[in-house]
Amino acid sequence: MCKLSFSANGYEFNEVFVIPESDQANMTLFTEHPMWDVFDTQASSEQYRPSWQVIFGFKLKRKPEYVIVNVLLPILFLSVLNMLVFLLVPESGERIAYCITVLLSIAVFMTIDSAMLPRTSKPATIISFTLMIDIALSSAITVMAILNLRIYIKDPDSPVPKWMIAIYRILTCALCRKRKMGPL
């Protein structure tokens, strides 16, 4: 519900009476909006010191097609593209460029999307959180692709680093403890 109020400032309430023509707003000059539908209107008059005021109320409903086509589907497609990096063959040499391209496209989409959203909103929009999670996941996927290529290109005769052996031992001990606690 969006309310607009008009008053005759500079006049006393007994000098000017502002009264609406009917209890509905006149919508003859209204033009359609691509994101919103107006499905109900109200018009009322009330005494507001120092003058009268007319209040027009508009009940708005968001058109879901606009948000689905222009916001949700691109986020979904970018997320799917993000995960497809691991299907690329390491020999092609395009994994890192692909990861960075998807990361940059999510960042560009986030800046375009933030221009459509309100600047300050008390509950932050779910779309903003989704895009931030997508950027974080895309960054993690980029790091994983870099590490994956580093391990792939590494000489097979070089020794395994001590820190990697320590991580392996910690993880295997944790997995063994979980298996022992389970039912026999």
Domain ranges in the chain?
Answer: 2-62, 64-160
Which pLDDT value is given to residue 175? Answer: 64
Q: Which whole number is the average pLDDT over 106-125?
A: 78
CA 165/CA 176 separation, integer angstroms = 16
Query: For the domain 64-160, what is the CATH code?
Result: 1.20.58
- Whether pLDDT at 150 is above 90: no
Residue 60 has pLDDT above 70, yes or no: yes
d(CA 73, CA 133): 16
pTM score of the predicted model: 0.60
